[in-house]
Amino acid sequence: MQFPDDDNGKMLAAMAEAGIDLSKALDVDFFLVFEDQRDAESALEELSQSDLEGEIELLLNDESGKWELIVCLNMVPEYDAIVEQEVSLNEFAQEFGGITDGWGVMQHQEGDDDFADDAHECGDDCKH
């Protein structure tokens, strides 16, 4: 498979090399980062009331001290679809003083216990 030579393309190439089937829908996590808790909570409320079909989680990143809104969408990880979603979510986050901070896919590793954290694969710009 050929991918554009940018962060998203490199991430998709790495996923393909790791044996992930990119033709099937996966849970893709998009990360939105906010300095202020109230801004993050306002964005969460707005997304919760939208027609977004996905899961949303808000947490405080202890390491950075910033609030992360994780938007999990089940989608086929095609390059154009990823870019479109990132642009849309970045525009949304900016309305609340936030920015997007990459995306990733949780990959179940053989031998992981059912309740263990999965490995997080993310792009070069991701701070995780």
**What is d(CA 37, CA 118) in angstroms, rounded to the nearest whole number?**
26
Low-confidence ranges of the chain (pLDDT < 50): 109-120, 127-128
- Cite the beta strand spans of the chain per DSSP E: 26-34, 55-60, 67-75, 99-107, 119-122
pLDDT value at position 106? 82
- The percent helix, strand, coil of the chain (3-state, each to 5) is 30, 30, 40
- pLDDT value, residue 52: 86
Q: Residue 36 has what DSSP assignment?
A: S
pLDDT at 84: 96
Query: pLDDT at position 2, please?
Result: 82
Nearest to 3 by CA among 77, 95, 72: 77
Closest CA to 44 of 36, 26, 82, 64: 36
Q: pTM to 2 decimals?
A: 0.81
> Residue with structure tokens 């707005």?
46
In whole angstroms, give the CA distance from residue 53 to residue 49. Answer: 11
What pLDDT, on the 0 to 100 scale, is given for residue 108? Answer: 56
